[in-house]
Amino acid sequence: MNVKAESKALEPLRPQAVPGYLQETYWWAYVHPNAVSFFERQWLVNLILWGNFARLRDAALAELGREVPGRTLQVACVYGNFTEHLAARVAPGGQLDVVDVLPIQLRNLRQKLSPLAPVTLHQYDSTALGFEGASFDQAIVFFLLHEQPAAARRQTLREALRVVKPGGKLVLVDYHLPRRLHPLRYLFRPVLHALEPFALDLWRHEIMEWLPEGVSAAQIRKQTYYGGLYQKLVISV
């Protein structure tokens, strides 16, 4: 297969319903035509994560290894250089697939990637991934779950686990309840409440609670960062 010809492939974009929460709650961040030109700045996405972007990106990617073999799925685009770093780790013969429901986000990602990157972009809703079961060796979901209402979050997790092969892993990075004396536990709550209302679900519940039946605690490894404000879960499939 000609990797060069396949690189930066973007499957034909088609009209697809924008999820209600994305249109209503996150239009300003992802849907509006000016959103990309405003938010696509490394310093800004780093600021939004209180200076932790690189740390969390690298913690997520470290779970996949320095060289990532086989087929990898990234569920949803990310502002900043997350996908460039992931693509750079893809081992020879490997492949990265990235899905997002918004054409504007997929076009922006395509522009950020090298023409030689072994990456294919797909327009899919994370709640209905158009891949066969067990298609991927690993999958990664970076700060998507907190943006979704519980039903969509649950279905996203179900889909991500469905498409990972037995023996593979699913890596999740997202918000988490900060420790009791963490100032952001008190200062950041009203901001999240106003701008990202579903995010506080991740302060009140464990991600485990939205996983499909049959996933046991023994399959999950959890680590928190920055005084507990962030978490990484690695689920062995």
Ligand X SMILES: C[S@@+](CC[C@H](N)C(=O)[O-])C[C@H]1O[C@@H](n2cnc3c(N)ncnc32)[C@H](O)[C@@H]1O
Give the residues lining the site for ligand X (CB under 6 A): 19, 22, 30, 45, 76-79, 99-102, 105, 125-127, 142-144, 147, 152
Strand partners, 36: none
| Closer CB to ligand X, 43 or 116, in the complex | 43
Q: Buried b vs exposed e over 89-101: b needs ≥16 C-beta within 10 Å? A: bbeeebbbbbbbb
Of the candidates 129, 32, 142, the one whose C-alpha atom is nearest the C-alpha of residue 78 is: 142
| Closer CB to ligand X, 47 or 217, in the complex | 47
Query: If you write DSSP's letter for every residue of 7-27 in order, what string do you get?
Result: TTEEPPP---PPPHHHHHHSI
CB of 40 to ligand X, least distance (A): 9
CB of 210 to ligand X, least distance (A): 14
Distance of CA 73 to the CA centre of its chain: 10
CB of 7 to ligand X, least distance (A): 21
| Closer CB to ligand X, 79 or 230, in the complex | 79
| Closer CB to ligand X, 69 or 103, in the complex | 103
Cβ contact 232:173 at 8 Å: yes
CB of 100 to ligand X, least distance (A): 4
